[in-house]
Amino acid sequence: MGTLNQKGFSGDLFKWIFATIAGALIFIFLYRFAFQHVDLSDTLQSRTLVQYLDDHLSALGISDHSSSVINLPAPESLFFQCGSVGVAGYSQDVHKLLFGPGHVDTDRLNVWAEQWSYPFPIADLYYLTTPRTRVLIIYDEASVSFVQKLDVPQGMNVQMIAKKSLKLEDLKQQSSTLDQIHLIYLMPVHDVKTITSSLKGLTVHLVEVDLKTKTLKYHNDQTKMFYLGDAMLYGAFFAPDQYDCLQNKALERFWQAADLMKERALLLRTKTDDAFCKDVLFEASKVLESMMNVDEGEVLQHAMEKLEGQNNLLEKRDCLLVY
């Protein structure tokens, strides 16, 4: 090993320093390259998975009232945030009304698609759940007829139970291995504290539905919301914590559909010579216009009833229909 001589560094010492610096630079370069490659592979894999989920959901939406199971090759950490699907750091807005858990680690998703019409076609709604999420619909005598009509696919892990048969202690025992439990009360809830304390230790989402006023209350954060049609209500069964945001997205789609139907009514009006039909179609277009940018459930429900009346009137007189 060389040391300092009269002329400065010896050749050997220079070579060692040079090789060390060059080696370190090459090592850093390769190290960074390897990490970038891993990042790229992960992003590609995540993007492919999101696209796979999106395509699967789109295909499901083709037919009305269809359900399916999406099996993933390996357990994944999935995020469903107000219409966006995310996997491991990559997120994409799939432009769908997806009612599902905010975050879930799973290799199996149960999916259900339903066409949302109120009363004209508006959008396809998608509901997602996992085997580790349980939805319990609690009914009383006043809401039993609604439950009897309810047609939720079996795989969605939704159970109906009469309030008098509900035993919270048993429920806690049965649900101890689950990620979360959604309690949907189709009646006023007066004993929120008793329910939450009885199910302490479980992740519980508590929703109170008023079928008469078509409103719901999410007790976890005291949010009051509304729904337009049963398909939208089902969204609260599967994504109670995200319903508020998804309700706004759903409203935007509703306004789009109302706008299109308004234009359609005005167009059809030009195709009839009957003065009565012309008048009712024009009035209907005004009702549809009045719905635009309105975010009050009661106002929209009232307008919809008016529109239904106008449509029935047109049907009776053998006119062209609004929807």
Partner 1 sequence: MKRGQVEINETLLVLFVIVLLLIVGMVMYFRFSLAKVETLGDTLDEQESTVLLAQASTFPEFRCNDRDCMDTSKFLPFRTTVHTYAPFYTSSLGYKKITVSQVYPLTTNVLCTLELYSQDAYPENCGFWMLYDRQPTPLKQAITASTFVSLYFPEIDEYRIGRLEVTRYA
Which residues make up the interface to partner 1 (CB under 8 A)? 11, 14-15, 18-19, 22, 26, 29, 33, 40, 44, 47-48, 51, 54-55, 58-59, 61-63, 93, 95, 115-117, 119-124, 252, 256-257, 259-261, 263-264, 267-268, 270-271, 320-321, 323
Specify the residue, 118 or 218, whose C-beta has the smaller distance to partner 1. 118
Q: Rank residues 216 and 265 by Cβ distance to partner 1 and give the closer one.
A: 265
Of 258 and 300, the one with the shorter C-beta distance to partner 1 is 258
Least distance in Å: CB of 94 to partner 1? 9
237, 230 in Cβ contact below 8 A? Answer: no
- Structure tokens given for 153: 């696919």
Contact 320, 273 (CB under 8 A): no
Are the CB atoms for 166 and 191 separated by under 8 Å? no
For the chain, how many helices (H) and strands (E)? 8, 12
**Which amino acid, one-letter code, is at 94?**
V
- 275, two tokens: 């003065």
Sign of CA dihedral 205, 206, 211, 213: negative
Tell me the closest approach of the beta carbon of residue 175 to partner 1, in angstroms: 36
> Please, what is the minimum distance in Å from the beta carbon of residue 108 to partner 1?
22
- In the complex with partner 1, which residue's Cβ is closer, 46 or 133? 46
Residue 293 exposed, middle or buried by CB count within 10 Å (0-12, 13-18, 19+): exposed
Backbone angles phi, psi at 118, to 5 degrees: -150, 75
Between 140 and 259, name the residue whose CB sits nearer to partner 1.
Answer: 259
Q: How far is the CB of 259 from partner 1 (least distance, A)?
A: 6
Shortest spacing between CB 180 and partner 1, in angstroms: 30
